[in-house]
Structure 1
Amino acid sequence: MKSQEVRSKFLSFFEEKKHGIVPSAPMVLKDDPTLMFVNAGMVPFKEYFLGNGKPKNNRLADSQKCLRVSGKHNDLEEVGYDTYHHTLFEMLGNWSFGDYFKKEAIAWAWELLTEVFGIDKDILYVTVFEGSDDSDNLKMDTEAYDIWKQYISEDRILKGNKKDNFWEMGDQGPCGPCSEIHVDIRSAEEKAKVSGKDLVNEDHPQVVEIWNLVFMQYNRKANGVLEALPNKHIDTGMGFERLCMVLQGVQSNYDTDVFTPLIREIETITSKTYGKNEEVDIAIRVISDHVRAVAFSIADGQLPSNTGAGYVIRRILRRAVRYGFTFLDKKEPFLYRLVDVLSTQMGKAFPEIKAQKQLIENVIKEEEQSFLRTLDQGLVLLNRIVDETKGDTVSGEKAFELYDTYGFPIDLSALILSEKGLKLDEKGFNEHLQKQKERSRAASEMSTDDWTILVEDAEEEFIGYDSLQANVKLTRYRKVTSKKDGDMYQLVFNLTPFYPEGGGQVGDKGYLEDAHGDVVYILDTKKENNVIIHFTKNLPSHVNETFKAVVDAKQRYKTECNHTATHLLHQALREVLGNHVEQKGSAVHSKYLRFDFSHFSKLTTEELQEVENFVNRRIEGKLPLQEKRNIPIDEAIAEGAMSLFGEKYGDTVRAIRFGKSIELCGGTHVKNTADIWHFKIVSEGAVASGIRRIEAITNDAVKDFYFENNKAYFEMKDLLNNAKEPVKALQNLQDENTSLKKQIEGLLKDKAKNIKSELKGELEAINGIQFLAKKLDLDAGGLKDVAFDLGSQFDDLFLLFATEQNGKALLSCYISKELVASKGLNAGQVVRELGRYIQGGGGGQPFFATAGGKNPSGIDEALSNAKKYLV
């Protein structure tokens, strides 16, 4: 059974059971501070489990893209080394929110597996929660056990511990016992030797869990106590890739048609054969897995970067590049070529991968090129470390610096060192790595109290589109403590005028005032699992009273100007550059706006001016805001509204129109484009391959911009003696400066020639080496010219020159290549060691190297210590 048919049969089965079928949510999370990525099928539905929202249908089913590469659920290091762990995987799931429970969930799971998919029940095992005698004091899940007895013999129902059979979404929140369904696909001979029940949950590659049925019936509080949920839920997750392995009769997920097209393409590109060599096989599995994770992350709006979720994606991509570099001998970009296969294979089920194909290819290719340059640089640095190493062991500290600062993989360092007959101090490396992790963990540690509920089952209403202040009641609050921010309080109201951060727009700030005149400042507003949370440094004194909630109107207005400008900018870019332009991210603050978009070349000055003029014409046109709230998404799209890949939209949306600019948007906007006053682009540049970024300002920021530029203009005129044509006067100065520089360079070269003939007479013979250490009145280029000129006349030369320029010291060391080879001398090592006298450092090649420092008074000592290398 082909994988596409497997997915289709699953969804059709639950559609017949009156489940609403929903598309996969974007994998990259934007309103959940506890997670970067969707790591389980239930994540997009957390708000329903937490009671913060109500689904349109109490029964849902989907195939959800998941990524497990960080935190508690992290499968990254297992990927490639076994046959069933992945970074990106599909989780087939069916959900019940207060509707059916264990009886139906178990019955339907059994029906689907054994009747629809035809899996032999004699290769299946199930587990149930055995209970616990710890502080939770939970009893065995006899209800699930008794239901399972109707379908499978008792000797195939196994009792599992809390680790395996009690599922929790985190340290707090909904949780409950679960039943796992495992499959034993070993041969008859293997089964005769060892029973499958002895291999369940023992990480056996052919005895694996394929489906987990979670019975959500408890809530874990901050103090660890469990309480019963008012409504019981079903949350199931079945590994799509593992199910395909079973149904296609193979022994590995990588042997299914989910992966074989990618593996065949890797074989073609690399001229390697899968199945012949274990190291090559691991590399091919890693690459075929990782390219899926990276491609779907980019499609969902997450570009590789140096922080947060972007860093995780970059790390996955670089891991794939490294395996290709080390084990498949690929020294040039090739991962991007796999995207075409992936798009063909999965584009029907996940149209975003096909729609974003060109962008994904460009971003991956650029990242590959960048990391391959890093590897080349790392090899040079590693060779330098080897040259400096005394003995046969490279220090863990040096290896960690190479890993941490330059991103050079530690296992690649170890491999290269072993080829050179050296060892790596892995213990020292791990100690430095652990210290870094502890520092990072300490900086991000946070403790969150339970919500203190003031009003039971209170609903929250956002009124910030229409009003900037309101009388509000506090419905719940909690304390959050972190090392970074100290104690903070999170407040929730029955209604709020504060806009929560979202869609690129920052959250509102403002204040609360009670009847006694006490004021508490709202420092930020965010949305978490569909709840608007207001951040304060202090808890209001009278929590049960009514407060006047007031948004900072000035900051909101400036932010609205910038947000509306992003819509006009988007329209302008599509008009000027073409309809291929799509928004890839934005940041809307009160002081500026940032807009990322797809385009494959730098914008010319003329294009930037045309874009700017387009936006300003719309501002001058005084276009009114036309807003439609809570309209069906299909209706909005039919009217021409732009939607963004990577955004999660509900069945109803808000559409914003200014003239011909129509976008789906939840942010706040000016009532008329005239309010923006003026729009000015301040920068344009590249973010990644095929992604450009424009930063711009509006309103008061433009006034300040022109004021500062006008001030600078008159200051420049003043320096140019109020020249009537200041640009021409400045050009004349530059031409004159260039001419003088050339004259100085000529004079310095003449001076260097004269010095060279004098220096030949100062050479001192030491142990068969012509030696000179001297301070010269030349610049860095002059020192190099003199050294190489002398070097062309001698093959036994050791020179150390020094100079002082602009209050700083410079050392230049030249050693004849013949001496480097015969005596083992190294100019790079010389300047690094002598550089400490001038409080600096440097490096270079074994025959020529330089060092700079901030202590010119140490030059004489450095020169006097040069002879030690010859005796």
Structure 2
Amino acid sequence: MIKSRDIRKKFLDFFNEKEHAIVPSAPMVIKDDPTLMFTNAGMNQFKEYFLGNKAPKSKRVTDTQKCLRVSGKHNDLEEVGKDTYHHTMFEMLGNWSFGDYFKKEAISWAWELLTEVYGIDKDIIYVTVFEGSDSDGLPLDQEAYDFWKAIVAEDRIILGNKKDNFWEMGDQGPCGPSSEIHVDIRSAEQRAEIPGASLVNMDHPQVVEIWNLVFIEFNRKADGALEKLAEQHVDTGMGFERLSMVLQGKTSNYDTDVFTPIIREIETITSSEYGVNEQTDIAIRVIADHVRAVAFAIADGQLPSNTGAGYVIRRILRRAIRYGFTFLNQKEAFIYKLVDTLSKQMQEFFPELKKQKNIIYNVIKEEENSFLRTLAQGLLLLDTVIKENKGSEIPGDKAFELYDTFGFPIDLTALILQEKGYTLDQEGFKAALEKQKNRSRAATKVETGDWEILIDDPVEEFVGYDLLKTPVKLTRYRKVESKKEGTMYQLVFNITPFYAEGGGQVGDKGYLQSSNGDLVYIVDTKKENNLIIHLAKHLPENLYETFTAVVDSNQRERSSANHSATHLLHQALRSVLGDHVEQKGSMVRSGYLRFDFSHFSKLTSEELSAVADFVNARIKEHLPLEENRQTPYHLAIENGAMALFGEKYGDVVRTIKFGDSIELCGGTHVKNTRDIWHFIITSEGAVAAGVRRIEAITYDTAQEYFTTQSETFQRVKDALKGNSADPLKAVMTLQEENAALKKQVEQLLKDKAKGLKTELKMSLESINGVEFLATEVDLDQGSIKDLAFELGSEYDNLFLLFGSNHNGKAMLSCYISKDLVKDRDLNAGTIVRELGKLIQGGGGGQPFFATAGGKNAAGIPEALKKAKSYIQA
């Protein structure tokens, strides 16, 4: 049986022999395209070529691209595990032509590879061709049809509609007809009974699409119209996992050697058996698929989080945990144990898995432990929802609250309810979810117009390393409407001194000046598909004149100082903590810097001091910037340059060197470390399992810090008056005196409470078998609680409500004997929540003791008066 790694190699070798350059997989997490979170197709990394924003170095390329499809148009998440051929993370084998060969070669080479190299039986292959579209005014793709007709019988050519056979990048952009290749792997008897042609694109698990040949020849404009592209391109994508299934003679992707090592490990760890029970099989497939997606995402630098791409990764992992928890009876973390098997299996072609194995292992383990605690909490909350609900159906909005606030999966909620004899209002849940999505869409909706081309110049030169001011010409612009920003314009120039946001560094601001002195302010600079885009509130009056582009030099200097400091900080952390430290993210702004790095414990004060001292020593050495903008990538790495996983580097890179610190970097930097002035760490903390974060300041922000500290110190000395000769000693003396006085006050309050206790006992009123008291007391919250519990120890039928206005805050405290809670169905938490409204506040607690705080002390008397109604009924 051919092994999967050989399947991959044969594909790349085949197209390499057809004069295709083999290029590495791009990171799965996308950082410079606002339209995509993840690479969801092999063409994503070549998008700029199709858009005409960049000229390819080779007209023909081939690769295997790691992809993730879990959101948006390409959302396979809920199907994963339930069938045998959908995946979240998968490999896409592809070959591309950028204005070179077209349909004839793409079709003939695909047939040659599948039938002659891989040896797939020609009699089980079907192909589809675009039938045309009346709405777009497009006819049948006769050219592709004729090429296929010369190779296969016409009864194996199937006409496909726009949904299946017209590929589009998005609502706008390059697009074109496609031709799919399907394989029927059913038994000969099944094929004789039902023709495979009738099952193509019908989601049959054994009549599957393995390759899609896309012929990009149109551009979809903002108004929906199609225009012919100047050049024609080929973009193909073949599912590696499905191809392996076909070539290895399996009927499930999960039975191939792409997945069997992981499945065997899951069986061992969970004491389960694959292939015996459908529920167990689904759970094992889910976990086997999802651990790959999560591991590759973490290796690319994307950690699980509560927002954006990080939330998607967390959601995938939690789905896997949930299946293990429910169907494999795994109540403790176990998925992290699969990382070693995955790394050994895939590291030959994806070495980042081996390099990042420890961080992947620890992040998954911590996420598992965290969500298992959430599951336990969610079960308790669900019990509360069930108890408080009237009837057998649980409202959808309550389930949505569990889902939205605590990350409790809706399918798990439905399963638990079913086991307890309840049903879930699924429509109500969907309505609440859709309402939230609509709010999110409305807040983030962006309408983008077509580019208006003024000068047909796709090459935009960045000169901002050397110049902060230069003449420019506007080459294209487009209008963008969003609810958040309103009307904005995106401008592109022939050259630009503005640095586009990237590598963690904020984009430049500044302005354009026209010949008559009018200014157009550039409020931000970003990069999209290799274009440097300048955001402005309005357009220049004369679009065709030459402008002077001016960068805000103050912001640039601050950002450059902070960026150079991150390089020195990276070096310092590796020197102080060890070579296991690697950068996991950064944010370089003009006011501060943020640096995330791999490390598994909190830094001690001594380590923090050592790190800061290391950086400041490099600043004092006045190290000059040594910059090389044209270093071959392999040579830079051989010379010791640090490269970040998850970043996409070209064949030629820019290196930044300060002394022994050398990194690949496209950001802006100071000319000498003395320009950083001083480095001050302002905070250190955890971001995720095995990832720490340092925030720091430099340059004039550090100067302002010292000035503020000096002024504060002087005010302290002034406040100490006669004791200012030794401020530290004076402050310590004040602290000791304050602690002594606090003890005296606490004792006085305790004595006061004891005296008050006797007085309150005499005020108790018997109502319906309950000893009742609702009164206002002048005590702090701790003393009130102690008093309530002391009284409670003497009565088993006590109902107390104390009101207080201590230090300007209105408080209500309710104590109910546990017997009353049980026998009379009273709940202190519910009562204070209701009464808390009278003091314009809220609160909660346990059934026998709860508190509420508010800002309206005038409402206390009414709350005390209303308390009696709870026991009079």
Q: TM-score, normalised by structure 1?
A: 0.96
SS at structure 2 position matched to 1:655 = strand
The 8 Å contact of residues 27 and 65 in structure 1, kept in 2 or not, is answered as: yes
Instruction: Give how far 1:140 is off.
Output: 0.6
Measured in 2, the distance between the counterparts of 1:248 and 1:309 equals 34
In the aligned structure 2, how far is the partner of 1:198 from the partner of 1:239?
22
% identical aligned pairs: 70
> Which one is further off, 816-825 or 459-468?
816-825
1:293-312 matches, within 5 Å, as 293-312=293-312
Would the aligned equivalents of 1:52 and 1:529 in 2 still touch at CA under 8 Å?
A: yes
Q: Which residue of 1 aligns with 2:553?
A: 553
Matches within 5 A, 1:190-229: 190-229=190-229
5 Å-filtered alignment, 1:66-465, equals 66-134=67-135, 136-465=136-465
* Range moving further from structure 2, 511-520 or 262-271: 262-271
1:142, 1:529 → 2: CA distance?
33
Q: Deviations over 1:226-249 (max 9, x none)?
A: 111121111100111111111222
Alignment check: 8 A CA contact 1:75 1:85 kept: yes
| Cα distance change of structure 1 residues 863 and 188 upon mapping to structure 2, 3 Å threshold | farther
Cα deviation code 1:6-48 (max 9, x no counterpart): 1112112212222111111111111111111101000001111
Equivalences for residues 750-829 of structure 1 within 5 A: 750-829=751-830
Query: 2-side partners of 1:565 and 1:98: how far apart?
Result: 44
Matches within 5 A, 1:559-574: 559-574=559-574
Instruction: Give the secondary structure class of the aligned counterpart of 2:366.
Output: helix
Measure, in 1, the Cα distance between the counterparts of 2:103 and 2:545.
Answer: 44
Structure 1 pair 127–594 and aligned structure 2 pair: CA distance change class (3 A):
same
Amino acid at match of 1:89: F
Q: In the alignment, is the contact (CA less than 8 A) between 2:52 and 2:458 conserved in 1?
A: no
The corresponding residue for 1:614 is 614
Bigger shift: 346-355 or 74-83? 74-83
Q: Tell me, what secondary structure is at the counterpart of 1:301?
A: coil
Could you tell me which amino acid in structure 1 is paired with residue 174 of structure 2? P
Partner AA of 1:182 in structure 2 = H
Deviation at 1:458, TM superposition (A): 4.6
Residue 713 of structure 1: aligned partner:
713
Work out the CA distance in 1 between the residues paired with 2:329 and 2:794.
42
Corresponding residue SS for 2:230: strand
Hey, what does 1:596 align to over in structure 2? 596
Seen in structure 2, the aligned counterparts of structure 1 residues 195 and 753 have a Cα distance that, compared at 3 Å, is farther
Letter in 1 for 2:776: K
TM superposition shift of 1:385:
3.1
Quote how far apart the aligned CAs of 1:212 are: 0.3
Kept in 1: contact 2:826–2:847 (CA 8 A): yes
Q: Counterpart of 1:345 in 2: which secondary structure? A: helix
In 2, the alpha carbon distance for the partners of 1:175 and 1:255 equals 35
Aligned-residue offset at 1:356:
0.4
Q: Secondary structure at the match of 1:323?
A: helix
Matched ranges for 1:436-835 at <5 A: 436-721=436-721, 722-835=723-836
Aligned residue identity for 2:579: N
Deviation digits for residues 742-774 of structure 1, max 9, x if unmatched? 333333334334444444444444444443333
| Matched-pair contact (CA < 8 Å) for 2:54–2:458 | no
CA deviation digits over 1:767-812, x for unaligned, max 9? 4444333333333333332333333344333333333322323333
What's the CA shift for 1:114?
1.6
Whether the aligned pair in 2 keeps the contact of 1:837 and 1:859 (CA below 8 Å) is yes
1:252-279: CA deviations, max 9, x gaps?
A: 2222222222222222222333333333
Partner of 1:850: 851
Take 1:14 and 1:202, find their aligned partners in 2: how far apart are those partners? 31
What secondary structure, in the 3-state scheme, does the structure 2 residue paired with 1:23 have?
Answer: coil
* Mapped partners of 2:458, 2:436: distance in 1: 44
Mapped to 2, the partners of 1:856 and 1:376 lie a distance apart of 38
Uncovered stretches (5+) of structure 1, i.e. residues with no partner:
none
Shift in Å, 1:734: 2.2
- With over 3 angstroms needed to count, the CA separation of the structure-2 counterparts of 1:276 and 1:845, relative to structure 1, is farther
Taking the aligned partners of 1:777 and 1:646, their CA distance within structure 2 comes to: 61
Number of positions where the alignment pairs a residue of Structure 1 with one of Structure 2: 870
Q: CA deviation at 1:197?
A: 1.4
Please report how far the alpha carbon of residue 457 of structure 1 lies from its aligned counterpart in structure 2 after TM superposition. Answer: 3.8
Structure-2 residue corresponding to 1:3: 4
Contact persistence 1:619–1:677 (CA under 8 A): yes
Q: Is the 8 A contact 1:388 1:829 kept in 2?
A: no
Hey, what does 2:57 align to over in structure 1? 56
Give 2:573's aligned amino acid.
L
Letter in 2 for 1:51: G
**CA shift in 2, pair 1:868/1:75, >3 Å:** same
Distance 1:726 1:376 in 2: 51
The one-letter code sitting in structure 1 at the alignment partner of 2:188 is A
2:42 corresponds to: 41
- For residues 602 and 494 of structure 1, what CA distance do their matches in structure 2 show? 48
Q: Greater shift after overlay, 518-527 or 158-167?
A: 518-527
Give the aligned residue type for 2:56. Answer: P
Whole-angstrom distance in 2 between the partners of 1:199 and 1:805:
76
Partner of 1:28: 29
Deviations 1:671-724 (A, max 9, x none): 111222222222211111211111111111111000001111111222222422
Distance 1:188 1:791, change over 3 A: farther
TM-score, structure 2 length as denominator?
A: 0.96
Q: Which moved more, 1:19-28 or 1:251-260?
A: 251-260
8 Å CA contact 1:79–1:286 kept in 2: the answer is: yes
- Give the root-mean-square deviation of aligned CA atoms: 1.9
1:556–1:381 Cα change, 3 Å: same
Structure 2 CA distance, aligned partners of 1:819 and 1:536? 67
Secondary structure of residue in 2 paired with 1:720: helix
The gaps in structure 2 that reach 5 residues or longer are none
Give the 3-state SS of the residue equivalent to 2:302 in structure 1.
Answer: coil
**Secondary structure of the residue that 2:219 maps to in structure 1?**
strand
Query: In the alignment, residue 442 of structure 1 is paired with which amino acid?
Result: A
Distance 1:846 1:328 in 2: 36
The structural deviation recorded for 1:299 is 0.6
Pick which of 647-656 and 582-591 moved more. 582-591
Counterparts of 2:744 and 2:143, CA distance in 1? 94
Q: Kindly state the Cα deviation for residue 179 of structure 1 after the two structures are TM-superposed.
A: 0.5
Residue 638 to residue 288, structure 1, CA distance change in 2 (3 Å): same
**CA distance in structure 2 between the partners assigned to 1:111 and 1:84 by the alignment:** 25
User: SS where residue 119 of structure 2 aligns?
Assistant: coil
1:106-130: CA deviation from partner (whole Å, max 9, x where unpaired): 1111121122222222221110001
Question: In structure 1, what is the Cα distance between the partners aligned to 2:541 and 2:767?
Answer: 84
Report the CA distance shift for 1:386/1:748 in structure 2 as closer, same or farther (over 3 A). Answer: farther
Q: Relative to structure 1, is the Cα distance of residues 740 and 73 closer, same or farther in structure 2, using a 3 angstrom cutoff? A: same
C-alpha distance in 1 between matches for 2:265 and 2:738:
58
Which deviates further from its counterpart, 646-655 or 180-189?
180-189
Report what 1:18 is aligned to.
19
How far apart are 1:157 and its partner, in Å? 0.7
